[in-house]
């Protein structure tokens, strides 16, 4: 489960590529931090949050950021789980399952963020085998990528303009006009 954003970089020969690439690299790190913060919103109410990994690279005129997690719980929430039969654990001597009637999930499909999950209602006791409807896909990665993509391109363009402006200013630094 990863969100990947990338862009191609074209620098005219008149401009100093080093200054522009420094600006772009700094902005790429900022955008990667933003995506990481969006993933962390997903896990903020978890007792043990998933670890988010991030990498960024710039090779051959292409800048790329990969941010995500390999935690199974996050994958299950993101992609959902299928309906299945659940049974009591082996150490349950009575062979019964106990549930509360109601449940509010910590996350909602297609919305990044989480809140405290809670159960409510009377206790329900069921026989040894019960059908569980599964988890609806939350689509966090798709939503995060969809929100981050326009922001990423807009801010990378601004970073390129900042770098080009610095290059032009450095070219004329020290020269006076009458």
Question: What's the rounded mean pLDDT across residues 163-174?
Answer: 82
pLDDT for residue 115: 78
pLDDT for residue 177: 52
pLDDT in tens, 85-129: 888 877 877 888 887 888 778 888 888 888 788 788 888 888 777
Supply angle C-alpha 87, 92, 96, rounded to 5: 55
Question: What's the rounded mean pLDDT across residues 15-39?
Answer: 90
pLDDT for residue 89: 79
pLDDT in tens, 65-83: 899 999 998 899 899 999 9
pLDDT for residue 7: 75
Confidence class for position 47, pLDDT limits 50, 70, 90: confident
Contact (Cβ atoms closer than 8 angstroms) between residue 116 and residue 83: no
Look at residue 31 and tell me whether its pLDDT is greater than 60: yes
Task: Output the CA–CA distances (angstroms, integers) from residue 30 to 26, 35, 69, 148, 168, in the order listed.
Answer: 6, 9, 18, 12, 24
| Furthest C-alpha separation in the chain | 95
Task: Tell me the whole-structure pTM to 2 decimals.
Answer: 0.77
Question: What's the rounded mean pLDDT across residues 14-23?
Answer: 85
Q: In what order do the strands lie in the sheet with 62-68?
A: 2-8, 62-68, 53-59
């Amino acid at each position: 489960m990863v969100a990947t954003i990338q862009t191609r970089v074209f620098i005219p020969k008149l401009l100093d590529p080093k200054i522009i690439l420094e600006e772009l690299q700094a902005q790429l790190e900022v955008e990667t931090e933003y995506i990481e913060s969006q993933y962390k919103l997903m896990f903020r109410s978890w007792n043990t949050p998933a670890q988010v990994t991030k990498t960024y690279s710039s090779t051959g005129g292409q800048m790329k950021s990969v941010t995500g997690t390999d935690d199974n719980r996050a994958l299950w929430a993101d992609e959902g789980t299928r309906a299945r039969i659940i049974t009591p654990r082996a150490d349950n001597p009575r062979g019964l399952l106990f549930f509360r009637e109601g449940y509010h999930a910590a996350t909602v499909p297609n919305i990044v963020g989480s809140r405290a999950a809670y159960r409510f209602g009377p206790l329900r006791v069921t026989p040894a085998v019960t059908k569980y409807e599964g988890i609806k896909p939350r689509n966090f990665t798709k939503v995060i990528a969809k929100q981050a993509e326009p922001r990423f391109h807009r801010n990378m363009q601004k970073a390129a303009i900042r770098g080009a402006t610095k290059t032009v200013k450095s070219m004329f630094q020290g020269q006076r006009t009458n």
